[in-house]
A and B are shown apart, each in its own frame.
Chain A
Amino acid sequence: MSGSSLRGSIAITGVGTAGCGEAAGLSELELLALAAHAAVVDAGLTMADIDGLCTANLNIAMWPLNVVEYLGIRPTFIEGTNIGGSAFVAHLLQAALALQAGICNAVLVCYGSNQRTGTFGRRERTIARNSLDPAPYEAPYAPFNPPSSYALIAARHMHQYGTTRPQLAEVAVAARGWARLNPEAFSRDPLSIEDVLNARMVSDPFGTHDCCLVTDGGGAFVLTRAERAKDAPQPSVYMLGVGTAAWHRTISGMADLTITPSVDSGCRAYAMSGLGPADIDVLQLYDAFTINPILALEDLGFCAKGEGGPFVEGGAIGPGGRLPVNTNGGGLSCVQPNMYGTFAVIEAVRQLRGSCGDRQVAGARAALVNGNGGNAAASQATAILGTAETL
């Protein structure tokens, strides 16, 4: 049941990003295509080699069709499952199955959004989404989503376990510390705990610095079977384990606000990989809000439930801390174009290649990526990636 035959069966051979931050004048497809092209070149392939596609978009229902037409590809494997920002981590499982079954040879996972500078802005998108996917049992109370749903999670966590706002702020400060080492990060000014606590309130307990960035950006990566990856120009990064879990859609439907489905997705990824938390050198945890990495650290077994707040204190997950988390600066300080999943995978790959410069985690061999999706930690996808040594 663990799917262990998939362990090490596929590799990420190319990664690419484009327009991280502000990319005025570029469309979503253009950002996607720039990142896709960079990833395919990085993999030592051409677009004509791509015969598998995984992609998703928050606004356009038949997005894979837009992408195949624009890229000029005719893939034999098409995967457009959209479970929110975790989708591109979740796609690893479907892509691995397709590659192992011989349905395709090279899968492109890709995303692009111009939500920061696009003429059809965030407000218009929210109105359109709310009318197409109404939440009749929540809409009358006007939660400011997604912040309010995660604020309800954080408030409950604080009530139940004594988690504090300064502990939440530690997550934002650690992310900024990493971002300051990453030339690609969008927000690189110094940030203190006090700055986070004194910021304008959004939906309490969250101020503006507890909430992720709103940026443009494109991200893409290329997957092939492991034996084919040996010819790739870059050091290959292998998929050791992956798992996806989804339990609800709305915050009202979340069984326990302090426990996310990553309890399940993590177990599945660990079981497939044969690794556990102690084996992980670097983590990329989808940080839509400061509470998310705290929940993920607990649910993925890096600390006990309720101890995530104390765990992150004292710069523990920042540069020089005991556990490196979100080394690119995360969605809080690096890039967050509405769906962050591709960027979490890309940073894990760059760390495992040893190509991260000032922010490189020395000797990183195994990385954990946790994707979060939906307005209420609704979907979680966990992947464990490793260097050739970990096979």
Chain B
Amino acid sequence: MNGPDEEFRLALESGELRLQHCDGCARAVFPPRIFCPHCGGTALAWRPAQGGGEVYSSTTVHMVPKGQAPYNVSLVALDEGVRLMGRVEGRQVVIGQRVTLRVEKAALIFSPEGETP
């Protein structure tokens, strides 16, 4: 039997971000858990994420090997109510801006809403 981490990973590898939702308190749960960290409930059901969210915080990493470009690391608050790390690819990344998710090589990549990647 696969644990929640492995279930999550397999879905992501197939191109889909899935989140657990707790039957007990109706909250989304991330990272995947054995039981709900909010209410302790054990009935957690997987649902695909809708893909919309907002940049909660963001940094550009400048300590990169020679020849590589600085890159973005952000925390995104998904509309489901969970926050997770991902990369925002946009001309300018601003905290509070709306972003849209795509899964690329099992990673969470976000673009500013309305900007096509």
Contact = CB atoms under 8 A, between A and B. Distances in A.
Contacts of A279: none
A384 B109 CA distance: 45
A120 interface: no
6 contacts: A141-B73, A141-B85, A148-B59, A201-B62, A203-B62, A251-B85
B23 interface: no
Q: Name which of A156, A159, A252 has the most chain B CB atoms within 10 A of its CB.
A: A252
Nearest to B86: A141
B63 A153 contact: no
B92 to A, nearest CB: 13
Contacts, number: 74
Interface stretch (A4-12, A57-65, A132-140, A167-175): A132-140
Interface of B: 5, 9, 30-31, 56-63, 70-71, 73-75, 83-87, 95-96, 106-108
Contacts of B86: 141
Contacts of B108: 140-141
B57 A152 contact: yes
Nearest to A137: B31
Interface residues of chain B: helix, strand, loop or mixed (majority)? strand
B75 A203 contact: no
A253 B83 CA distance: 8
B75 A152 contact: yes
Given A141-B107, A152-B75, A203-B63, A252 B57 contact: no
Interface string A139-151: 0111110011001
A159 B85 contact: no
A156 B95 contact: yes
A202 interface: yes
B85 A155 contact: no
B75 A144 contact: no
A159 B57 contact: yes
Contact of A257 (B57, B60, B63): B57
A111 B58 CA distance: 34
Contacts of B59: 143, 148, 151-152, 155, 203-205
B107 A136 contact: no
A191 to B, nearest CB: 20
A144 B71 CA distance: 10
